[in-house]
Amino acid sequence: MRTGILVVASLVLAGAGLTIWFVNSSVTPEYSQTADTRSYADRAGTYYGDAPGGDVDITVAIRELELPLFPGANAIWGASGRDDQGHIWIGVSVEDEPAAHLIEYIPEQDRFVDHGDPVTALKAIGRYQEGARQTKIHSKIIQGDDGYLYFSSMDEEGEKVMAGILPKWGSNLWRYSASESRWEHLFHAPEGLVAITGAGRWIYALGYWDHVLYQYDTRTGQVRHTRVGSVGGHVSRNIIADMNGHAYVPRIEYYDLPGSAEEGGGETSRLLVTSLIEYDQNLDMVDSFPLIHYAGKERPRRNHGITGISYLADHSIVFVTGTGYLYRIIPSQNGPARVEDLGWIHPAGESYTAALFPLDGHDWLLAVGKSRAPDKSEGTRYEVMIYNLRERKSRTIPAKIPGYRYLLLYGSNTRDNSGNNYLVGRYDWHTPIIWQLSLE
């Protein structure tokens, strides 16, 4: 089966900020699976198990998996996902080497398989440019209804945050056939595609700077994109899609507020305003929802936006912001979604929580984060929490988290068929890490 993408036409809709590419691929997806044959949990990329119980004592067992390292491997930036078999997929990023690697973990065999890298794939299809690099697979890894795994690769060479200069080698959206060990190139983007999402037919990717939203139609191969908007170098680490094919992306912007007469008049102050924008399958804006406790007090570029996501069995989606504030999206087939404010995920208030898992798919979430409360005696040490959605209340639970000089942990929604939860990240500045969390 031949691979490759040919852009044959481009249409810019004046005033709409929307660009459509009509893409002709030499391969038409054969839908071996459909929405009717896959479970909702599979389409959501997760697994639902038993509820942990309200007042039962719970502890967390953490097992560090022996990740096979390769030259330059230095981090897993939240790039994780599962396939319908319950196998775990990760993207291991590099430094001082040209390309990240796509790696599969098979839980029942306790075995890793390296499935290659994007630079080698570009060379194989004749799209490689001399010196090109794709050092990060930063996005989630998502299985579509066609059976393919979707993810993005990117580079950071030459980019400048505040000047809005894009990475020299840009990004690529890929799909991978695990059964045939085959990479397929879908499109190149000049922005850094830092996040992807999708549920079934449509795959969405977020590019920086200025939050550019791309959409790939897995049935037709059509690519569209539109500019959502961001300021100050801010990039959300995740975006969200529901089962209706709608995407949800943060938009942040400054508003200038005129000074009052008592303050001398004439002076202005800047207010940072954040909204969650809902788009339909045509990339038309459906609605906008205000987000409080999104940006926090940090400069926009230092805030990670949406840091954790969990899909629930009722088709709602829970997400947490970089300040540790929870929201729930309740999609609608007949109009705009409803967004609920759930409050802080950490019992002490503000936190950096970049790992969120749906335990039973109904009432219970598992989270891993760092409290930012000023009276927290242990500073920013990671803690494990369980959150009850019905009561809107959380508590920390005992967990022996290994101590490292430098530790970053990410991972959301990714669980195997035994109900284990997968954390990824890096420690000691240069070493990728993957942990398997289970409740006892």
Q: Of 117-131, 230-244, 293-307, 310-324, which gets the smallest average pLDDT?
A: 293-307
pLDDT of 29 higher than 60: no
pLDDT of 157 > 60? The answer is yes
Residue 54: its pLDDT value, please? 60
Residue 374 pLDDT = 54
For residue 24, pLDDT over 80 is answered with no
Does 261 or 142 have the greater pLDDT score?
142
Question: Quick one: the chain helix, strand, coil %, rounded to 5?
Answer: 5, 45, 50
Residue 350's pLDDT is 94
pLDDT at 263 over 70: no
The larger pLDDT score, comparing residue 1 to residue 434, is at: 434
366-395: average pLDDT: 82
How large is the average pLDDT for residues 282-296?
94
Identify the band that residue 367 occupies on the pLDDT scale cut at 50, 70 and 90.
very high
pLDDT at 299 over 50: yes
For 188-197, 272-281, 372-381, which range has the lowest pLDDT when averaged over its residues? 372-381
Residue 293 has pLDDT above 50, yes or no: yes
For the cut 60, the answer to whether the pLDDT of residue 25 exceeds it is: no
The pLDDT assigned to 167 comes to 96
Q: What does 367-401 look like in DSSP terms, one character per residue?
A: EEEEE--TT-TTTT-EEEEEEETTTTEEEEE-B-P
Name the 3-class secondary structure at 439: strand
Rounded distance between C-alpha atoms, residue 291 and residue 306, angstroms: 11
- Please report which confidence band the pLDDT of residue 378 belongs to, taking 50, 70 and 90 as the band edges: very low
Determine the pLDDT at residue 9: 37
Residue 403 has a CB neighbour count (10 Å cut-off) of 9
**Nearest one of 334, 230, 210, 220 to 280, comparing CA atoms:** 334
- Determine the Cα–Cα distance for residues 175 and 145; give it in Å rounded to an integer: 12
In this prediction, residue 57 carries a pLDDT of 83
Q: What is the mean pLDDT of the chain?
A: 89
Q: Quote the pLDDT of residue 35.
A: 63
Does 66 score more than 50 pLDDT?
yes
How far is it, in rounded angstroms, from Cα 95 to Cα 93? 7
Coil, helix or strand at residue 324: coil
Q: Among 121-130, 219-228, 266-275, 386-395, name the one with the lowest average pLDDT.
A: 266-275
What was the pLDDT predicted at 31?
Answer: 44
pLDDT more than 90, % of the chain? 77
C-alpha 379: how far from chain center: 27
Phi then psi dihedrals of residue 306, to 5 deg:
-80, 115
Q: pLDDT confidence of 326, banded at 50, 70, 90?
A: very high
pLDDT band at 404 (very low <50, low <70, confident <90, very high): confident
- 262 pLDDT more than 60: no
Split at pLDDT 50, 70, 90, the class of 266 is low
- The fourth-level CATH superfamily of domain 33-439 is YVTN repeat-like/Quinoprotein amine dehydrogenase (2.130.10.10)
Confidence bin at 310 (pLDDT 50/70/90): very high
CA 251 to chain centre: 16
Show me where the domains of the chain are located.
33-439
Percentage of residues in the chain with pLDDT exceeding 70? 87
Is residue 32 over pLDDT 80? no
d(CA 431, CA 93) in angstroms, rounded, equals 10
pLDDT score of 380: 61
Q: Using an 8 Å Cβ cutoff, are 204 and 241 in contact?
A: yes
Residue 291 has pLDDT above 50, yes or no: yes
